[in-house]
Amino acid sequence: MKVGASVLACCCLLIQVLGLALFLRGFFPLPVRSQARKSSISEIPAEPWAGKTSNWTQLPHPLFKKVVIVLIDALRQDFVFGVKGKEHMRYVTQLIEKGSTLSYIAMATAPTVTMPRIKALMTGTIPGFIDIVVNLNSPELLEDNVIWQAKQAGKRIVFYGDDTWIKLFPKHFVESDGTTSFFVSDFTEVDDNVTRHLDDVLKRDDWDVLVLHYLGLDHIGHLTGPHSHLIGPKLYEMDFVLKKIHSALSSKDEDPSFPSLIVVCGDHGMSEAGSHGGSSDEEVQTPLVLISSAFQNKAGTFKEPEIIQQTDLAPTLALGLGLPISRSSLGMLLPAVVEHKTFREQLRFFHLNGYQLCKLLKENLRAYEKDDGVEQFKKAEKLHANWIKLYLEGNTSEVLTNLGRKLIKQYLEALQKLSASLSKQVVEYDIYSMTVGAIITLEMFFLLLICVPSALSSKAEFDLPLASPIFSLFFYMTCLVLAAVHVIVCTSTENMCFFCSISWMMAMAIMVLIAALLCVLLSVLGKIILKHKSSNEKQSSSMSSWSELDLLLLVGTLGHVLSMGASSFIEEEHQTWYFLINTLCLALSQEMCRKYFLVRKRNKMNTSDLEYMEQTDVYINEIYDAHKKELKEERLSILERFIKDNEKWIALASPGIILICCRLLRPLNQTGVQWMHRSDFGHWLTSSEHKPELSFLVGTCLVMIFVLIQGKCSLVSKVALMFGLLGVYCYRATIGHVLYPWQQDTKDITKGITEARFVYIFVLGILITGIKDLLKSHMMCADYKAKSMGLWEVYSGLVLLAALLFRPHNLVVLVFCLLIQIILTMFIWKILKYDAAQITFMHYWFGQAFFFFQGNSNTISTVDISAGFVGLENYVEIPAVLLTAFVTYSGPLLWSMHLLCYLNGEINKTSTAVAHGCFSYAIIRSLPVTVYILLVTGFRYHLFIWSVFSPKLLYEVIHLVISAGICVTFTVVDKNQVAKSEH
């Protein structure tokens, strides 16, 4: 069966996506789970007592009458305990300094996004990393949690704020009002919608637990960063809310022994870029302030906040409300919360916590009796029994007091060890699903690899045997073996894996696919070996024909792939790509010098070389003549004449100009981990004091974008592009990023919905015009010029969309991207006559570099989710996800689309240029993701698996999905060319 190179590449990537989906489902582990679903009061252990059964078999009485949880989204610890807190949260700071609170720094774990953090706060568990994916559409929380226990105990719970709570805990609240957390362009109404209920609910006594989740601070961070002038007023607003709540509850605290409690906390922090999701100190360190009249006796004893785990809040809240601790909780009770109680009550609380942790460890670890924490808890439990015996006998001596203090210390040490042991058990991989997914991915990669010679040949097609392998005995035997393995694994394993949980028909279909791919792979490999047995000499000569640039591209790509085995190289991956493109520019400069100097010197003694150079000069002149015809702008004839007359020196300077452009982009956005804490030029530009400078820069960049891409567009698209770019500036001015020339300040700030939709209309118009030209070139057999114009118009529409969604200072990145593409096209690639594979590798390198120039990194916190809500009044999931993915991968996307435009222009010289480019792009994307899944499998117990390797895995998989879509586009364009040539 004859298969085109582009079709083969497209199919391989799509099947690889299936394999990676299976791998991801197995790799991201399930957190520690209890075998039973919920705790019940009937399972509460009795108080230990040496002699006979204790009378105390029930839970202690609640510590607090009412509990108010004020969760301020993205509240960093320095927003409360740092300079900003002292300046803008004066009431809370005053309470802290008086010692009227318990203050902690609660450490969150990656991923630092809202839904997993709410889970951690309410269940005491460490959520799985895959929760970052389902964060966009939170399912009901079925684990044992504080909210469920409170509802079962008859507590009346009221909630206002982020509707993630309503999705996690449906039908748990007697009263609720949710607000979507994903519409990040709004930071006033989301909080006003919460505060407007306060006056009414604080006057009433028909509730026991009040949960308030404020979103405005998080939205400000996403839009303008943690050092924005909007942060201060928002913190002041939160301080006023807390003052109102504290005053209302204090006036109702009639019984000092049964007071109310206010919990002030953040779900996660905020990075220096204003986002979250990673594991930097700014993202994982959140404040936890407990305000209650029960802590008044600590006045005047202010000290630095103690560092705890975020999971410690769940058992503390549960025991504070008189509820059973959640079965899956890994946290430990905060001792300062109960230290005002009697020794017997304190020991009872610690015993309950230790018993629950021991029970959970028993369900997750076979040899749990040998655990240090369990052994120490057993010793403390025996000592506790002796203490109870002495206490009930009426012993009130100092010996009893000292023994009680010693016992509390032993319990706390045991709790710490038990919690640490359970945290280590949090990884539970589904190895079977991982193996199946990895096998499919590897099969596709090896198929691409062995098809390279045929796919990059002059025909760009491959004779793929399908019938003979699939109807062979080996295929049926392989299917039977795989089916037997599946049955054995799924019936013998204790833990239920995902691949065993799907239907047998679907599982067998995947097994048949694996067997078919294996047979095809072996058949192709055998065919190639037989074919090349007699042509070893030709093969070796072809290897010797590799140029220095070929070796550089190959070694650089392989070197980058191997570097992903080190966490430091992943954190600072941008440095690898910056180094590679700088090296590439130096290599291109060498090629230019060799062309214009070394070759010409040899021409004095070599007439054949002289004839070749004359032909080359003619070819170069033809390039500029063709370029001049494409521009169709008589007013630029002077510039064209200057370029043509000085072609040699401009071409020699081109690699240097690209180097300068790349160097100018590096300080614009700090990325990676090492220098994230330092301000970059982007911070300087986006600060409120430099708004005029940013306005001038944005205006200049928009004009440059129009000049650089309008040349190959139709008249209609040029007009649409001009109005679209004007709309981009209006949108930025409306939301307060830039100023109009006649404007002095940004008092009238809106969401810019109308202006953004105005731009979307022109984006769609340009894209539709381009697609119409593509269809016209295919259906009506028009000349290739209509096809080239259609592709360029699609590319221009994507550039306009990027201009709208980019942060304003990143328009410089977009301008330099277009400028470098023009320089490479006009003065390097065509002059040096590189083939499609070499051009594809260079496009890929520059696309990866511009991914990091934009400010992205391999941490989730650099994802700019605010771009997903441009022009939206409310959160709409699909457009938000698509826009966020586009702006994140706009660098590789724009370079790949430019690659398609360039290769389409080369079809007059090489009809297989698009097919070669598609196949090269597929294999260059398949290589890193295939190697990386093997690396993360080996490093699955590495210290940085969740903070470094897992986020990178998500980036690679999403990039492969996007690359599969790009290859589909290449295939469609290539098929159009084939259809045209066959007509």
From CA 110, how far away is CA 173, in angstroms rounded? 28
What percent of the chain is predicted at pLDDT more than 70? Answer: 85
Which backbone phi and psi does 872 adopt, to 5 degrees?
Answer: -105, 135
Find the helix or strand (DSSP H, E) in which 291 lies: strand 285-291
Q: Does pLDDT of 861 surpass 80?
A: no
pLDDT at residue 443, as a whole number: 94
Q: pLDDT-based confidence at 806, cuts 50/70/90?
A: very high
Candidates 322, 228, 312; CA nearest to 265 is 312
User: CA-CA distance, 727 to 731, in Å (whole number)?
Assistant: 6
Amino acid 116: pLDDT: 83
Once rounded to an integer, what is the mean pLDDT over residues 931-949?
A: 86
Whether 624 has a pLDDT exceeding 90, the answer reads no
Q: What is the mean pLDDT of the chain?
A: 83
Where helices occur in 493-572 by DSSP H, the ranges are: 498-501, 504-532, 536-544, 548-563, 567-571
Q: Which two tokens stand for residue 664?
A: 């100018």
Residue 613 has pLDDT above 80, yes or no: no
What is the C-alpha to C-alpha distance for residues 948 and 883, in angstroms, rounded to an integer?
A: 25
Find the mean pLDDT for residues 419-443.
Answer: 85
Query: What 3-state DSSP class applies to 951?
Result: helix
Give me the mean pLDDT over the 625-638 stretch.
49
For residue 571, give the amino acid letter.
E
Cis peptide bond N-terminal to 111, omega within 30: yes
202-227 exposure pattern, b = at least 16 Cβ within 10 A, e = fewer: beeeebbbbbbbbbbbbbbbbbbbbe
Q: Examine the pLDDT at 35 and tell me if it is beyond 50.
A: no
Q: What is the pLDDT of residues 192-233, one digit of tens each?
A: 889 999 999 999 889 999 999 998 898 888 877 788 888 999
State yes or no: pLDDT of 798 exceeds 80: yes
Collect all residues with Cβ–Cβ distance below 8 Å to 365 and sequence separation of at least 6. 371, 421, 425
**836 contact partners, CB below 8 Å, separation of at least 6:** 903, 906, 910, 912, 913, 914, 916, 917, 920
pLDDT in the model for residue 542 = 46
Position 638 confidence tier, pLDDT thresholds 50, 70, 90? low
Residue-wise pLDDT for 497-517, tens only, equals 788 888 889 999 999 999 999
User: Alpha helix (H) ranges present in 268-342?
Assistant: 281-284, 313-320, 335-338
Q: Residues 917, 903: contact at Cβ < 8 Å?
A: yes
Whether the per-residue pLDDT at 234 is higher than 70: the answer is: yes
What is the helix (H) or strand (E) element at residue 759, kind and residue range? helix 753-779
Mean pLDDT to the nearest integer, 329-354: 89
Closest CA to 553 of 920, 959, 845: 845
pLDDT of residue 495: 59
pLDDT of residue 533: 65
> Sorting pLDDT into bands at 50, 70 and 90, what band is 883?
very high
What's the sign of the alpha-carbon dihedral 768, 773, 775, 780? positive
Name the pLDDT band for 597 (thresholds 50, 70, 90).
Answer: confident
Name the least confident of 129-138, 151-160, 197-206, 400-409: 129-138
Region 329-334: what's the mean pLDDT?
90
Give SS3 for 171.
coil
SS3 state at 289: strand
**pLDDT over 60 at 945, yes or no:** yes
Non-local (6+) Cβ contacts of 744 within 8 A are: none
Three-state secondary structure string covering 680-704: CHHHHHHCHHHHHHHHHHHHHHHHH
Given the DSSP bridges, would you call strands 261-265 and 285-291 parallel, antiparallel or unpaired? antiparallel
Q: Which residues pair with 211 in a beta bridge?
A: 69, 159
- % of the chain surpassing 90 pLDDT: 39
Kind of pairing, strands 175-179 and 157-162? Answer: parallel
Q: How confident is the model at residue 402 (pLDDT cuts 50, 70, 90)?
A: confident
Q: Copy the structure tokens of residue 45.
A: 């252990």
Q: Say whether pLDDT at 948 is over 80.
A: yes
Q: How many CA atoms lie within 13 A of 89 on its CB side?
A: 27
Q: How far apart are CA 462 and CA 467, in angstroms?
A: 15
Region 388-403 average pLDDT: 79
Q: Residue 651: pLDDT above 60?
A: yes
- The mean pLDDT of 274-303, rounded to a whole number, is 78
Q: pLDDT-derived band of residue 979, with 50, 70 and 90 as boundaries?
A: very low
Tell me the pLDDT tens digit for each residue of 887-922. Answer: 999 999 999 999 999 998 887 677 788 999 999 999
Across 429-433, 574-578, 874-878, which has the greatest mean pLDDT?
574-578
- 839-to-829, 843, 909, 914 alpha-carbon distances in Å: 7, 6, 15, 11
Query: What pLDDT digit, counting tens, does each position of 364-378 carry?
Result: 776 777 788 888 989
Per the model's pLDDT, the better-predicted residue between 620 and 647 turns out to be: 647
